[in-house]
């Protein structure tokens, strides 16, 4: 199958042909072992709409069971167009609004930042090559950021609930949203606590109410039967799948190269270890944001939270790095070199997955464009030791990535190490993400500005 193409098409087939009650259950008409639906209700509703339209265009595309494996050019063209439409309706407008409305002063840097975000190789390759709809969940999250930047906290809360109910991986961003809104409502700033008066309590109540109502509306068809509700949750959080997916650039996979955690700990124990390390990793940036709920601190916290989740949480996918790439790209105007470097590494970390889909040439083309932007952004004034170190470190990083890519494509690995180069790519990328996590934590705690 062509990447996740069949999974997305199959979800359209299932949601269009079966009653809502069967969408997440294993039945004679819905084999969950065959690309079973494992995303929240909004993804299911979106799949239903796409399936209904697709069935009108060609009923064979969505015929129950008989359409499995369908990959005709017209079907591919239709599904590709649905991703483009999602980009045009959700993600791209949010990008323009962020760089057009959330900055105190307009500058040419915003145009460059917008361009680098729209040309993000990772998102383009995964959504339009591997085939997914990350542009919807990330776009809704970006809409939430835009609303919060403009002071519309209620709309921001609704937008983020929609993002979370489209893809559960938006939990990577949940803690910063919670801490920012709670800290802002409680008026805790610079360590000075102000009692919650009636107006602040009312605001907090409104935010809580719209969040609850939004969740209820999204989950409405599944709230009437306890078994249906629990089955959806079971599908969303499949702990039985293991600690990580394939060769992902997470901390736990890198550790497993030397110490096989799966062989020494049961799944329940691994889940608890991941939970504790993730919570511990989230605490510094979350507490800082809660105490100083500034919009700039909020965006840094989004980066740090998503990186901590990617590195230390349970059941991580290669594509989850896109959740960190989004807020990093929002900081391009402040840290262009760091932002573009991250984008290149994020794309590089997914190379083994993209190579399986025959996307080597698109990967090289798009990543090369971002690499050129990265080289153009390197500092020319080396006034401090840090500035003097940036250029050689970035070039050394690029040299390592190019070397691993060439080795992967040219050298045949030893028979007893068939996954040698994908493993090296994952570990090399993980080292970068650990470094980025340290850098962005430092930037969050040292950047005292309150606006972009």
- Does residue 195 carry a pLDDT above 70? no
Q: Note whether residue 40 is domain-resident.
A: no
**pTM of the model as a whole:** 0.95
Q: Note whether residue 180 is domain-resident.
A: yes
Inter-residue contact 64 to 13 (CB < 8 Å):
yes
Mean pLDDT, to the nearest integer, of 379-383? 74
- Does residue 22 carry a pLDDT above 90? yes
Number of domains in the chain: 1
Structure tokens at 442: 């430092």
Q: Note whether residue 3 is domain-resident.
A: no
Structure tokens at 104: 């105190």
Inter-residue contact 130 to 360 (CB < 8 Å):
no
Dihedral of alpha carbons 444, 450, 451, 452, sign = negative
Mean pLDDT, to the nearest integer, of 57-63? 97
Residue 31: pLDDT band by 50, 70, 90 thresholds?
Answer: very high
Q: Which segment of 139-143, 237-241, 364-368, 394-398 scores lowest on mean pLDDT?
A: 237-241
How confident is the model at residue 286, as a pLDDT?
Answer: 98
Q: Note whether residue 62 is domain-resident.
A: no
Distance CA 161, CA 148 (A): 14
Strand partners, 90: none
Distance CA 430, CA 348 (A): 11
Inter-residue contact 144 to 159 (CB < 8 Å):
yes
Q: Note whether residue 378 is domain-resident.
A: yes
Q: Using alpha carbons, list the distances in angstroms from residue 364 to 293, 377, 394, 428.
A: 40, 20, 18, 18
Strand partners, 316: 244
Mean pLDDT, to the nearest integer, of 36-63? 97
Q: Note whether residue 138 is domain-resident.
A: yes
Q: Mean pLDDT over all residues of the chain? A: 92
- Does residue 196 carry a pLDDT above 90? no
Tens digit of pLDDT for each residue in 401-419? 999 999 999 999 999 999 9
| Burial degree of 216 (CB within 10 A; 0-12, 13-18, 19+) | exposed
Distance CA 119, CA 277 (A): 33
How confident is the model at residue 266, as a pLDDT?
Answer: 87
Q: What percent helix, strand, coil does the chain show, rounded to 5? A: 75, 0, 25
Tens digit of pLDDT for each residue in 227-272? 999 999 999 998 877 777 788 999 999 999 998 888 888 888 999 9
How confident is the model at residue 383, as a pLDDT?
Answer: 64
- Does residue 210 carry a pLDDT above 90? yes
| Burial degree of 77 (CB within 10 A; 0-12, 13-18, 19+) | exposed
How confident is the model at residue 159, as a pLDDT?
Answer: 98
Residue 137: pLDDT band by 50, 70, 90 thresholds?
Answer: very high
Structure tokens at 285: 């940036």
Structural domain including 256 reads 72-446
- Does residue 190 carry a pLDDT above 50? no
- Does residue 205 carry a pLDDT above 60? yes
How confident is the model at residue 186, as a pLDDT?
Answer: 82
How confident is the model at residue 292, as a pLDDT?
Answer: 92
Rg (CA), the chain: 22
Inter-residue contact 101 to 146 (CB < 8 Å):
yes
How confident is the model at residue 385, as a pLDDT?
Answer: 65
| DSSP per-residue codes, 245-291 | SSS--SHHHHHHTTS-HHHHS-HHHHHHHHHHHHHHHHHHHHHHHHH
Phi and psi of 420, rounded to 5°?
-55, -50
Structure tokens at 313: 């949480």
How confident is the model at residue 189, as a pLDDT?
Answer: 45
Using alpha carbons, select from 208, 187, 200, 176 the residue that is nearest to residue 289. Answer: 176
Distance CA 143, CA 206 (A): 19
Q: Note whether residue 80 is domain-resident.
A: yes
Q: Note whether residue 23 is domain-resident.
A: no
């Amino acid at each position: 199958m062509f990447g996740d193409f069949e999974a997305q098409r199959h979800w359209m087939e299932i949601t269009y042909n079966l009653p809502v009650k069967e969408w997440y259950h294993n039945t004679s008409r819905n084999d969950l072992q065959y690309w079973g639906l494992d995303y929240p209700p909004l993804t299911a509703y979106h799949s239903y709409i796409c399936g209904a339209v697709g069935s009108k265009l060609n009923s064979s595309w969505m015929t129950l069971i008989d359409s499995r494996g369908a990959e005709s050019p017209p079907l591919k063209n239709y599904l590709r167009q649905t991703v483009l439409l999602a980009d045009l309706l959700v993600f791209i407008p949010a990008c323009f609004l962020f760089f057009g409305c959330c900055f105190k002063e307009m500058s040419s840097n915003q145009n460059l930042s917008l361009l680098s975000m729209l040309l993000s190789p990772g998102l383009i390759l995964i959504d339009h090559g591997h085939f997914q709809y990350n542009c919807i969940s990330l776009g809704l999250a970006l809409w939430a950021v835009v609303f919060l930047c403009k002071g519309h906290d209620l709309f921001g809360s609704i937008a983020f609930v929609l993002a979370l109910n489209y893809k559960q991986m938006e939990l990577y961003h949940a803690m910063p949203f919670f801490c920012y809104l709670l800290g802002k409502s409680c008026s805790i700033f610079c360590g000075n606590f102000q009692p919650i008066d009636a107006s602040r309590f009312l605001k907090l109540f409104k935010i809580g109410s719209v969040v609850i109502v939004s969740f209820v509306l999204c989950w409405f068809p599944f709230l009437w039967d306890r078994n249906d509700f629990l089955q959806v949750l079971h599908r969303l959080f499949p702990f039985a799948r293991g600690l990580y997916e394939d060769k992902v650039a997470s901390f736990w996979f890198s550790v497993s190269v030397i110490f096989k955690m799966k062989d020494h700990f049961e799944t329940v124990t691994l889940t608890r270890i991941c939970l504790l390390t993730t919570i511990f990793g989230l605490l510094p940036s979350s507490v800082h944001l809660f105490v100083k709920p500034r919009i700039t601190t909020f965006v840094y916290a989004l980066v740090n939270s998503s990186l901590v989740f990617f590195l230390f949480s349970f059941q991580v996918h290669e594509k989850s790095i896109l959740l960190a790439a989004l807020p990093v790209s929002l900081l391009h105007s402040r840290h262009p070199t760091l932002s573009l470097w991250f984008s290149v590494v994020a794309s590089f970390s997914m190379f083994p997955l993209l190579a399986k889909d025959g996307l080597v040439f698109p990967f090289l083309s798009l990543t090369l464009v971002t690499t050129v932007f990265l080289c153009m952004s390197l500092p020319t004034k080396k006034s401090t030791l840090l500035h003097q170190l940036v250029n050689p470190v970035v070039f050394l990083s690029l040299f390592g990535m190019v070397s691993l890519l060439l080795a992967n494509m040219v050298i045949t690995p030893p028979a007893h190490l068939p996954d040698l180069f994908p493993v090296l790519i994952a570990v090399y990328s993980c080292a970068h993400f650990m470094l980025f996590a340290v850098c962005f934590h430092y930037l969050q705690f040292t950047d005292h500005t309150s606006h972009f």
